[in-house]
A and B are shown apart, each in its own frame.
Chain A
């Protein structure tokens, strides 16, 4: 019986797809990196309706774990977690950069250069990860990263190395393809923890005043 897989990624825009045994049955993409909370419900509902199945038929939910700016990323993961609970489906996590790499590597025919994937991390920084080729089942092989860095720091890091780049954007279909490959490789993971790669912005306040010695209590 073929598996139905719901794929969700909100690391950049809102992208959702339904795959059946590796075949794409439906997909919906909102490229703008905003309004994830508004769109996620309709995107999932429409994708499932377009695949002409009932939500309860979904057997796997795959979600992009980022790395990504925080607010949008969390909405996709929260939705994936709860959808899996509601549908009684298995839940899996995939790096969103892996999905971009998969799309690029599938197109990379003549070059064997390592592939550097970058994605906007806001605050003039990029998330990055370096890949080299794919496993026999087609999962991208991560050789460095993921990390977050300013573009010039990244350029310096890989100075003198010949690297392939891509401007392909994240797509839930590619996320699903990475998952299918990882499933065959035996490396599919249930870890859906968000990859923030940055600490929460918070600074502990300076002690306002120290008058401990004079305090009687």
Chain B
């Protein structure tokens, strides 16, 4: 669902609407117009307002204010209100998050607020944002005679007001990745892969991957620090992938990251692997342009995401219902007697082949499938079709042209991936497509994506391959975004979640 509201800084011109809402929401406890006027225009305050996008005239549906005196490390949430008719849509949370971001930008170290003791909905929102209940003021709200909870959010001290240096740890599949970023800037991205150890099995073996992670941790960390020319003392925060991925592999990274966080006494952020793939674009362009559709294709994932906001609004449009695209490449490589990993081998074998020689099926593209699975993928039928085709030709004693089979298979995969991704862009009127995941290394996929995006006026983003494959830099980058947005760190209790949904960008 697209956000039905927009948030901007409030001005004097909004005062009348703000006062109407103030009186509606707070009744006999409402501020008078002079007080509100001073608050909105004062230099030490930051007032923002939310407006209903659907309304013809600008209709104010919420507002909130922050007070931060320069030189004072403490800031206060002055007020927040959301129109009754607009509640339950995340507007209050969005307003709060904007104020948190501003407070952090203004180098506040602590943020305080008061909330009525009889308002659990608001209390829960603040708790979820990382506020703690530190004190209770008896009978603070008069004449209702209601207590106030005093709540406090502590920002990571070392990271206020400047770009945080974040170390990211990624162990969700067969790459041990440790990356270091400073804000939006990449400092190091070291990847140690156990791919060769999986070669004789024709696919990633979870136990082998997990064993390799454990052995790779220390050397990968040392290389990353050397590359960034930093020591662990310089690190402001740790970020770690806690899902989705292979459970046993994820747990190595989670255990490692937590211990590092405790040893360094630095905050930890548990982040989503797939959202990391999207956020990595920040390291190349300094920002992520949203909204964007993201097509993430690897040996473990084939997912189509709609990203309206990297930290708050990531929607899974569709994903594979059976094999990941990368797995299909590996399996077909085996059928054709090619090596592992299959992607590059099939790319090589397809050179000079005719992609139209054999029309292999495009999974989930029939009208009846498109109703239910418009953005989902399926590669198991394609895989079987290729194997059957080869068997039949073999049984008939025909010569098999590997180049044609490889090119036709590759075309079928690239076609269905790109077609569905472009459909998603067109359906949602999103003029951007971002590719991520190891399968992006496939030349034909990149070529076809460029061609189709050009046809439809869609901007195509393909980060450098070292940032497309699984890596720690993207995890560090996502951690840095959370910090710069003023988000509270994760607790130390989180676990690995092999099926973590994309809607969970950070696990607390």
Chain A residues in contact with chain B, CB under 8 A?
35-38, 40-42, 44-45, 48, 54-56, 58, 70-71, 74-87, 193-194, 196, 200-205, 207-212, 214-217
Query: In the complex where A200-B205, A204-B200 touch, is A78 in contact with B214 (Cβ < 8 A)?
Result: yes
A196 contact set on B, CB distance < 8 A: 211
Stretch at the interface among B12-20, B39-47, B255-263: B255-263
Question: Given A37-B495, A71-B247, A217-B402, is A202 in contact with B205 using a C-beta cutoff of 8 Å?
Answer: yes
Docked pose: A210 CA to B334 CA in angstroms: 10
- Report yes or no: B400 in contact with A211, Cβ–Cβ below 8 A: yes
Complex contact A86–B264 (CB within 8 A): yes
Mark each residue of chain B from 246 to 272: 1 if its CB lies under 8 Å from any CB of chain A, else 0. Answer: 011011111111111111110010000
CA distance A193 to B218 in the complex (A): 12
Q: Please name all residues of chain A whose beta carbon is closer than 8 Å to the beta carbon of B262 when the two chains form the complex.
A: 41, 44-45, 48, 55, 83, 86
Whether B494 sits at the interface, judged by CB under 8 Å, is yes
Q: Is B202 an interface residue (CB 8 A)?
A: yes
Let me know if B7 is at the binding interface, CB within 8 A: no
Residues of chain A contacted by B247 (CB below 8 angstroms): 71
Closest residue of chain A to B200 (Cβ to Cβ) is A204
Q: Can you identify 21 A-B contacts, CB atoms within 8 angstroms?
A: A37-B250, A37-B495, A37-B496, A40-B255, A41-B262, A41-B268, A41-B493, A55-B264, A56-B265, A70-B211, A74-B252, A75-B252, A79-B256, A82-B256, A194-B211, A200-B207, A204-B202, A209-B391, A211-B337, A214-B394, A214-B399
- The answer to whether A214 touches B400 (Cβ under 8 A) is yes
Q: How far is the CA of A101 from the CA of B424 in the complex (A)?
A: 62
Answer whether A78 and B217 are a contact pair too, CB < 8 Å, given A35-B495, A36-B251, A208-B334. Answer: yes
Q: Quick check: is B465 within 8 A (CB to CB) of the other chain?
A: no
Q: For A82, A84, A200, A211, which residue has the most chain B Cβ atoms within 10 angstroms?
A: A82
Evaluate contact between A202 and B207: CB separation under 8 angstroms: yes
Complex A-B, nearest 8 residue pairs according to Cβ-Cβ distance, in ascending order: A86-B263, A41-B258, A41-B492, A79-B259, A75-B255, A200-B207, A83-B259, A202-B205
Please measure, in the bound complex, the distance between the C-alpha atom of A86 and the C-alpha atom of B222, giving whole angstroms: 12
Cβ contact within 8 Å between A82 and B205: no
Q: Is B79's beta carbon under 8 Å from chain A?
A: no
Judge whether B257 and A82 touch: CB under 8 Å: yes
- Kindly state the separation between the CA atoms of A194 and B493 in the bound complex, as whole angstroms: 24
Given contacts A81-B256, A85-B260, A202-B208, contact A74 B248 (CB under 8 A): yes
Those of B451-496 within 8 Å (CB) of chain A: 492-496
**Interchain CA distance A40-B257 in the complex, whole Å:** 10
List 11 other contacts, CB 8 Å, given A74-B251, A86-B232, A209-B390: A38-B494, A40-B258, A44-B262, A74-B210, A76-B255, A78-B217, A85-B260, A200-B205, A200-B211, A202-B207, A214-B399
Binding site for A on B (CB under 8 A): 200-202, 205, 207-208, 210-211, 213-215, 217-218, 221, 232, 247-248, 250-265, 268, 334-337, 349, 387, 390-391, 394, 397-403, 492-496
- Tell me the minimal C-beta distance from B231 to chain A in angstroms: 10
CA distance A210 to B337 in the complex (A): 8
A27–B17 Cα gap in the complex (Å)? 59
- Inter-subunit contact A216/B400 (CB<8 Å): yes
Instruction: Decide: A70 and B210 in contact? CB cutoff 8 A.
Output: yes
Question: How many A-B contacts at CB < 8 Å in the complex?
Answer: 156
Residue in B214, B257, B259, B349 with the greatest tally of chain A CB atoms within 10 Å: B259
Q: How far is the CB of A140 from chain B (nearest CB, A)?
A: 26
Tell me the complex Cα distance, A37–B214, Å.
14
Bound form: Cα–Cα A38–B400 in Å: 53
Closest CB of chain A to B150's CB: distance in Å? 25
What residues of B have a CB within 8 angstroms of the CB of A212 in the complex? 337
Q: In the complex, are the beta carbons of B208 and A200 less than 8 A apart? A: yes
Most B CB contacts (10 A, CB to CB) among A44, A87, A194, A202 go to A202
Give Cα distance in the complex from A35 to B336, angstroms.
43
Bound-state CA distance A74–B254 (Å) is 11
Which residues from B are CB-within-8-Å of A58?
A: 263
User: Which residues of chain B have C-beta atoms less than 8 A from A56's C-beta?
Assistant: 263, 265
Q: Is the CB of A71 within 8 A of B248?
A: yes
Q: How far is the CB of A147 from chain B (nearest CB, A)?
A: 19
A206 to B255, CA, bound (A): 36
Q: Which residues of B contact A76 (CB under 8 A)?
A: 255
Q: Please, which residue of chain A has its CB at the minimum distance from the CB of B253?
A: A78
Cβ 8 A contact of B221, one of A35, A80, A85, A203: A85
- Given known A81-B218, A83-B259, A211-B400, contact A45–B211 (CB-CB < 8 A): no
- The answer to whether B232 touches A77 (Cβ under 8 A) is no
Q: Are B399 and A45 in contact (CB under 8 A)?
A: no
If A83-B263, A86-B264 touch, whether A209 touches B214 (CB-CB below 8 Å) is no
Complex Cα–Cα for A79 and B256 (A): 4
Q: Which residues of chain A come closer than 8 Å to B261, judged between CB atoms?
A: 41
Known: A71-B251, A74-B214, A74-B251. A41 touches B259 (CB 8 A): yes
Write out the residue numbers on chain A whose beta carbons fall within 8 Å of the beta carbon of B200: 204
CB neighbours of A203 from chain B (8 A): 201
CB distance from A59 to the nearest CB of B (A): 12
